[in-house]
Amino acid sequence: MNDREYEIMFRREDAYFWYRGMRAVTRAFAPRVFAREGRGRALDAGCGTGRNLVDLASGGPAVGVDVSLRALGFARRRGAAPLVCASVEALPFRDAAFVAALSRDVLYMVPDDARAAREIARVLAPGGALALSAPAFDGLAGAHDVAVGGLRRYTAPGLKTLLEEAGLPVRRDSYANFFLAAPIWFLRKVTGAKARGRPREEARSDFGLAPRPLEEIFFLLFSLEARLLEAGGSLPFGVTALVLAEKPGQGAGAGTREEAK
């Protein structure tokens, strides 16, 4: 990600409707990741400037990991939890060190996403849950992806396959940012056309604040999605793909082998 984007992210994470809305959506989609009642540590894999880590740490001990010292500098100013500079492709923790993990829009920026998924699975304890999101659908890519260093986009089934191959069966999947998908698609096409052929350093993200009334309307749409997900529903399409995975408990593999005999 361009260093400039970390500062933009840090300054807008509390006010920008997308950040606020996705925090509400993620909590509604995977409440057990956040409501741990102090039982064991949680990992924010790719914590960026730390605002999601604040939410994660509200449910018990948490640790944030990011490869960018610039991002961690901003996260440290939030003071929510311990921070470690490392890649999610090579996490510096022992096996089964965490009871839960969160990874928000990180895998699409990681060169080897399969290796990163295996590393998250390794450090997750048996029975531990992972809430993971990623930008969805190649057709929704634009200048924003260039600015933040996006390498690929996913579908919910694609994320499910990726995690299950890493040893993390997916218990639930959905999309998010359904109601705004059409205008975002249009915006990405316009900005993508303008940025075509320009250096990556000139690309700009979509993190621009709208007038306050519009910000609140957009946030309300995310709140409606959060209520639907909290009730156990799912969304068939959206700008973001969501999955909730769970590492099999100890002995689960043996039991499966016995049943197969």
**Domain range list for the chain:** 3-249
Cα(35)–Cα(46) distance, integer angstroms: 20
pLDDT at 149: 81
Cα(75)–Cα(55) distance, integer angstroms: 13
* 244 burial type by CB count under 10 A (0-12 exposed, 13-18 middle, 19+ buried): buried
Tell me the pTM. 0.88
Please give the structure tokens belonging to residue 123.
Answer: 């450090």
Cα(20)–Cα(38) distance, integer angstroms: 24
* 128 burial type by CB count under 10 A (0-12 exposed, 13-18 middle, 19+ buried): buried
| Residue segments in the chain with a per-residue pLDDT below the cut of 50 | 253-261
Cα(16)–Cα(158) distance, integer angstroms: 28
User: Tokens 């998908």 label which residue?
Assistant: 181
pLDDT at 252: 55
- Kindly list the strands in the beta sheet with 240-246, ordered across the sheet, starting from the edge strand earlier in the chain: 83-85, 62-66, 42-45, 98-104, 124-135, 240-246, 170-176
Class of domain 3-249: alpha beta
Mean pLDDT of the chain: 88
pLDDT at 171: 97
pLDDT (tens digit per residue) in 121-175: 999 999 999 999 999 999 888 777 777 788 999 999 999 999 999 999 999 999 9
